[in-house]
Amino acid sequence: MSELSDLYQELILDHNRSPRNRGKVEDADGSAQGYNPLCGDQISVSLKMDGDRIEAVKFEGSGCAISTASASLMTEALKGKTRVEATELFEKFHRLLTEDGSGVKLGPGMGKLAVFSGVCQYPARVKCATLAWHTVKAAIENEEGQVTTE
């Protein structure tokens, strides 16, 4: 189990050091701002839709390693997904972080996102890991106002 934990930690550190899809989508169809007042993480998510499918999604901002890695992995996971698929993945990811992990069936589509399964043991970090997800959900739904984890 220690080897798996080390692998998960390395993946999170890699996505923190070299985040994928960092930046702003040009001619975005949706965008949202997110803030975690508990630790000061701030994020901006922008996306471009191709009909009902996410064509591109990027993020900007500053945050801890968990927040940045979650945003990076999220952008990789959501590219090409429909709105419904993105919502389902958001809900599955949220359950992964808020349940003890034993009751969550990861199923297909979770892939690398499973690295966050241990976060549920650290309640303050759950908000760090879910900030980007709440923010992209607001961008997809064109919600107004800043998203907050409080």
Supply 125's token pair: 């970090």
Do the domain assignments include residue 44?
yes
- Specify the number of domains making up the chain: 1
Report residue 19: phi and psi, to 5°.
-65, 140
Write down the pLDDT at residue 80.
Answer: 97
Cα dihedral 11/117/91/139 (nearest 10)? -30
DSSP per-residue letters across 31-69: EEEEEETTTTEEEEEEEEEETTEEEEEEEEEE--HHHHH
Do the domain assignments include residue 54?
yes
Do the domain assignments include residue 149?
no
Write down the pLDDT at residue 75.
Answer: 98
At 110, which CATH number? Answer: 3.90.1010.10
Q: Tens of pLDDT along 53-71?
A: 999 999 999 999 999 999 9
Do the domain assignments include residue 132?
yes
Residue 73 has pLDDT above 90, yes or no: yes
Domain that holds residue 101: 2-143
| 119: number of Cβ within 10 Å | 22
Do the domain assignments include residue 18?
yes
Residue 114: band (very low, low, confident or very high) from pLDDT cuts 50, 70, 90: confident
Q: What is the pTM of this model?
A: 0.91
Do the domain assignments include residue 50?
yes
Mean pLDDT score across all residues of the chain: 89
**Residue 30 three-state SS:** strand
Do the domain assignments include residue 96?
yes
Do the domain assignments include residue 148?
no
